[in-house]
Amino acid sequence: MGRSPCCCHDAGVKKGPWTEEEDKALVEYIQRRGGHVGSWRGLPKASGLNRCGKSCRLRWTNYLRPDIKRGNFTDDEERLIISLHAALGNKWSTIATQLEGRTDNEIKNYWNTHIRKKLLRMGVDPVTHQQLPPDHIIDGASPSGTLLPESLLWAAAAAALGGGLDTGAIMQAQLLQQLLHAIGSNNTTTNLIANLAASNAMLNSGGGIVPNLLLQDQMNMLSTGANYLQPSYLGNISSFPEQNMVHQQQLISSPAPGTSSSAGAEPADQHCDTAAASVSHAASPAPVEEFAGLLEPMMEMEMPGLCSLESDSFWKDILGDSYRF
DNA sequence: AAGCTGTGCAACCGCATTGGT
DNA sequence: GACCAATGCGGTTGCACAGCT
At residue A4, the pLDDT reads 40
CA–CA distance from A227 to each of A83, A144, A194, A284 (Å)? 14, 24, 11, 26
Mean pLDDT of A130-135: 73
A306 occurs within a structural domain: yes
Distance from CA(A1) to C1'(C3), angstroms, rounded: 8
> A1: which residues sit within 8 A by CB, 6+ positions away?
none
- Candidates A57, A60, A63, A65; CA nearest to A7 is A57
3-class secondary structure per residue, A154-202 = HHHHHHHCCCCCCHHHHHHHHHHHHHHHHHHCCCCHHHHHHHHHHHHHH
Contact criterion met (CB below 8 Å) for A64 and A20: no
The nucleotide minimizing the C1' distance to residue A109's CA is B9
- Separate counts of helices (H) and strands (E) for chain A: 17, 0
Whether pLDDT at A325 is above 80 = no
Query: Per residue in A20-41, pLDDT tens?
Result: 888 888 989 888 888 888 788 8
Confidence tier at A113 by pLDDT (50, 70, 90): confident
- The residue type found at A195 is N
- Candidates A324, A172, A171, A199; CA nearest to A271 is A199
A162 occurs within a structural domain: yes
3-class secondary structure per residue, A44-100 = HHHHCCCCCHHHHHHHHHHHHCCCCCCCCCCHHHHHHHHHHHHHHCCCHHHHHHCCC
What nucleotides of chain C have any atom within 7 angstroms of a protein Cβ? 3-12, 15-16
At residue A174, the pLDDT reads 52
Q: Note whether A233 and A267 are same-domain residues.
A: yes
Q: Note whether A101 and A178 are same-domain residues.
A: no
Q: Note whether A160 and A295 are same-domain residues.
A: yes
A142 occurs within a structural domain: no
A241 occurs within a structural domain: yes
Query: Is A283 buried (19+), middle (13-18) or exposed (0-12) by CB count in 10 A?
Result: exposed
The listed range with the strongest mean pLDDT (A91-95, A151-155, A189-193, A262-266) is A91-95
Q: Note whether A58 and A160 are same-domain residues.
A: no
At residue A312, the pLDDT reads 38
DSSP symbol at A115? I
Contact criterion met (CB below 8 Å) for A261 and A276: no
CATH number at residue A125: 1.10.10.60
Q: How many domains are contained in chain A?
A: 3
Mean pLDDT of A57-82: 87
Confidence tier at A100 by pLDDT (50, 70, 90): confident
> Which domain-ending residue is among A23, A44, A64?
A64
Q: Global pTM? A: 0.56
Distance from CA(A101) to C1'(B21), angstroms, rounded: 37
The nucleotide minimizing the C1' distance to residue A58's CA is B11
At residue A137, the pLDDT reads 52
What is the Cα–Cα distance from A196 to A178, expressed in whole angstroms?
7
Q: Note whether A127 and A195 are same-domain residues.
A: no
Q: Note whether A212 and A302 are same-domain residues.
A: yes
Residue range of the domain that includes A164: 149-324
What is the Cα–Cα distance from A113 to A119, expressed in whole angstroms?
11
Q: Note whether A185 and A129 are same-domain residues.
A: no
Distance from CA(A64) to C1'(B19), angstroms, rounded: 27
Q: Note whether A12 and A102 are same-domain residues.
A: no
Distance from CA(A172) to C1'(C6), angstroms, rounded: 36
A69 occurs within a structural domain: no
Mean pLDDT of A204-219: 37
What nucleotides of chain B have any atom within 7 angstroms of a protein Cβ? 7-18
Whether pLDDT at A124 is above 80 = yes
At residue A212, the pLDDT reads 37
Mean pLDDT of A118-141: 71
A315 occurs within a structural domain: yes
Confidence tier at A256 by pLDDT (50, 70, 90): very low
Q: Note whether A183 and A304 are same-domain residues.
A: yes
Contact criterion met (CB below 8 Å) for A50 and A14: yes
A123 occurs within a structural domain: yes
